[in-house]
Structure 1
Amino acid sequence: MWNFVCASKTREPRPTSSWAGEKVSEAGKRAAILWKEISEAEKKKYEDEAAKITKQRRANYEKLTPQAQNALKIQTQERLSRSDKFSYHKKIKELGKPKQPANAYALYVQEIAKGAKSVDEAKISTKKAAQGWNAMNARERAPYVAKFETLRQQYEAELKAWESKMLKTGQEIPKRPIKRTASAPARKTTAAKPVRRASSVPARKTAAKKPKAVGTKGRGRPKKIATAKK
């Protein structure tokens, strides 16, 4: 069926296409109905055309440099991550999941920027709020911290009740999507020069040579001199 959608959207001119401005979900539903109505021969025609488009895209991708390929991968992953995030928030909104409260700083910023009449005024107010918050001491921040704590406790109670309701109705709770990442291309590494390692065999100890005794060759011990008895 996706072959039909892909080929149809590329076959028709974009400005006058009946698919232009239509949501993907709506286009998919319409394509599913039309796909069931066409013959096998027509399906084969769309499948061949879709395969041709895929092959051409692959050939164009192979012509890119490794850096350009990696940049394209990152761009694609970022687009898919945004799509996952949008789908997640849309789903939890439909299910009525309680919204997390703003923290103490955000509550202060909201209060400062409340009277802003334009986007530019709101930006200026936000900048002033950041400076004012940094200049405040703990006692001055206490009211906003206390308000956040009250909202946080209220949120946790509502979230617990909502999760209990989901379990009772058998509704699966959506999980927050994990950010998609593209693997970076492997760097070329040059062979490292071999490093001479010290021998693990301990060096042999050499005994110090004893000094030769000093003496006269051929001479014996000195004779004792006899002393006369008195």
Structure 2
Amino acid sequence: MSSFAQLNRLSNYFVGSYKTVLNGRANWFTQTQVCSYTRKSAEAKLGLEKPKRPLTPFFKFMSQMRPALLAKNPGISSKEAIAWTSKHWQELDLQTKSQMAKEYEKDIEDYKKIKAMYESSLTDQQKEDIKRLKEEMAAAREKRKLKAEFKELGRPKKPMSSYFLYIQSRKDSIKGVDLKEYQMQAKADWVKLSGNEKAKFEKQAQDLMSKYKKDLEAWELKMITMGRDDLVRSKPSREKKPKASEKKQ
């Protein structure tokens, strides 16, 4: 292949069929899933268009079969769609699979070249921003994972403060009111609240906190017996007080 033809193929691949196939993959589940939430990459959040890996032969086949599948089964679920596609993929003739595999190898070669061009075009600041954002996103994922695990294992929830208990006590008055205005008014009313009235909410908050601490300790002991020490809060180590003999020295 001449250098001009190769360059033309790369260009068409990058701006044409490459994105078309990717869009087909991205839209595959939007009509079949209840939630259409898609997580953005660090690069996307920074407004950078990072090249994406081409679809594997199976996922490319899935994107090609999508229109026919949805036409016959408009309300099909994601699980059913994958099962249907897997069945038809297994029945596909070897010659077609072989051709798709060859196309995938070419797409991978183009992808590697485009990726190298992309990475070389990044500034040091952009690389630093991507690294920082990826670390933040990884930390957020771990936090969500831990929160889900706490919920599954029945970790006691921290109770509300006295102020939020007050807000909850007047939740009926929020109906038909702008949320921002309601919050501002509630805050102003809390400030004006008498000492005796505030004391009731503060006492309620203290009682709930005492119960929470006991429940949390019991839950942590249970986790330790289950071998899940990693979910138990680390206790701060107390500094040993010097002995009287050491003080004299």
Q: Cα 1:91–1:11, aligned 2, differ >3 Å: closer, same or farther? A: farther
Q: Percent identity?
A: 25
Distance 1:76 1:144 in 2: 42
Which residue does the alignment assign to 2:211?
Answer: 154
Which residue does the alignment assign to 1:75?
Answer: 133
- For residues 149-206 of structure 1, give each alpha carbon's deviation from its aligned partner in whole angstroms, at most 9, with x where no partner exists: 0100111111111111112222344378xxxxxxxxxxxxxxxxxxxxxxxxxxxxxx
Contact kept? 1:100, 1:155, Cα under 8 Å: yes
Pair 1:133-2:190 in alignment: yes
- For residues 67-92 of structure 1, give each alpha carbon's deviation from its aligned partner in whole angstroms, at most 9, with x where no partner exists: 33333333323322321221111111
Deviation at 1:122, TM superposition (A): 3.2
- For residues 80-124 of structure 1, give each alpha carbon's deviation from its aligned partner in whole angstroms, at most 9, with x where no partner exists: 232122111111111110000011111112223343235x53332
Deviation at 1:49, TM superposition (A): 7.1
Gaps of 5+ in 1: 1-9, 35-42, 177-230
Contact kept? 2:224, 2:232, Cα under 8 Å: no
Higher-Rg structure is 1
Equivalences for 1:33-112 in 2 at 5 Å? 53=111, 56-57=114-115, 59-112=117-170
Deviation at 1:62, TM superposition (A): 3.5
Q: Cα 1:81–1:169, aligned 2, differ >3 Å: closer, same or farther? A: closer
Gaps of 5+ in 2: 1-18, 39-77, 87-100, 234-249
Q: Which TM-score applies when normalising by structure 2?
A: 0.47
Query: Number of aligned pairs?
Result: 156
Distance 2:123 2:149 in 1: 39
Q: SS at 1:60's partner residue? A: helix
Contact kept? 1:101, 1:151, Cα under 8 Å: yes
Distance 1:75 1:100 in 2: 29
Q: SS at 1:15's partner residue? A: helix
Distance 2:108 2:139 in 1: 25
Distance 1:138 1:156 in 2: 26
Which residue does the alignment assign to 1:168?
Answer: 225
Q: Larger % of helix: which?
A: 2
Q: Aligned match of 1:15 in 17, 24, 46?
A: 24
Q: Which has the higher contact order (CA 8 A, sep 6+)?
A: 1
Distance 1:150 1:79 in 2: 37
Deviation at 1:132, TM superposition (A): 1.7
